[in-house]
Amino acid sequence: MNVPADKKTIGILGGMGPGATHALFGLIISHTLAQSDQDHIRVLIDNRPGIPDRSAFILGEGPDPVPAMLESARGLEQMGADLLLIPCNTAHYFLDRIRPFLKVRILDMIRICADEIRSTRPGTGQVGLLATLGTYATEIYQRVLQERGLQVLVPDKTDRGKLMQAIYGPQGIKAGHISQHVKEIGRMGERLMEAGAGVVISGCTELSLVFEKHAFSFPVVLPMRSLAREAVLLAGYHLREDRELQGGSYNRNG
């Protein structure tokens, strides 16, 4: 397929997990200003669920995901991708190991999210972070947000364990069970707000599947939506800005 010279092709390094990959593609479509099929962005997707779990490796409990991630990234590059997106927060810990072997740009969802919080909520001093144990262990959000003058609040040990079970458990979000975890995740977010957070970051793409579909009493920033919007612009397209999508990358209570 020929892409206009002023436009770029997006590649999604997917499968981490499949639901998040599907959701990111949908966000790219819904945020692109288009009147016809031909107005949309060319998107290449490698949905590769066999990539080893990122948190398991970080916690010393599984194999290194980088070889499989790099193989996928190279394949997307060879197919014509100009920009690579990874719909997995924890996977961003490995970007520095992957980038030297690629010619194309990998967008950093963590930095894009942090920049959006800083620019759209300048009065915010503290942010809550709901994420996997792997993401907490790497402190990838803490480093980036602290560079921008933002302090990160995380759940206590009990809530962190419950959150992992909600994501990875037999009845968890990765297994396709979303609605049954809404109340508990909501309570975790409320506790972070009570501790002083001005906004809560959905720091796991599986959690974004919950926050996209349900309303909460506190503002939530969705990094995957931030990533989708940035990718649309960098690919040379215009954002759709009708009322349904207003509010940037925050949920409808933001």
Of 88, 130, 163, 200, which one is the catalytic site residue?
A: 88
Q: What is the 3-state secondary structure (H, E, C) of 62-124?
A: CCCCHHHHHHHHHHHHHHCCCEEECCCCHHHHHHHHHHHHCCCEECCHHHHHHHHHHHHCCCC
Catalytic (active site) residue 88? yes
Q: Is the peptide bond before 198 cis (omega within 30 degrees of 0)?
A: no
| Strand arrangement, sheet containing 126-130 | 151-153, 126-130, 199-202, 220-221
Cα torsion 220, 43, 46, 92: sign? negative
Does the annotation count 113 as an active-site position? Answer: no
**Selection from 116, 67, 66 nearest residue 92 by Cα:** 66
Which of these is catalytic: 204, 209, 210, 231?
204
CA dist., res. 145 & res. 152, Å (int): 7
Tokens of residue 237, six digits:
């397209």
Residues labelled catalytic? 88, 204
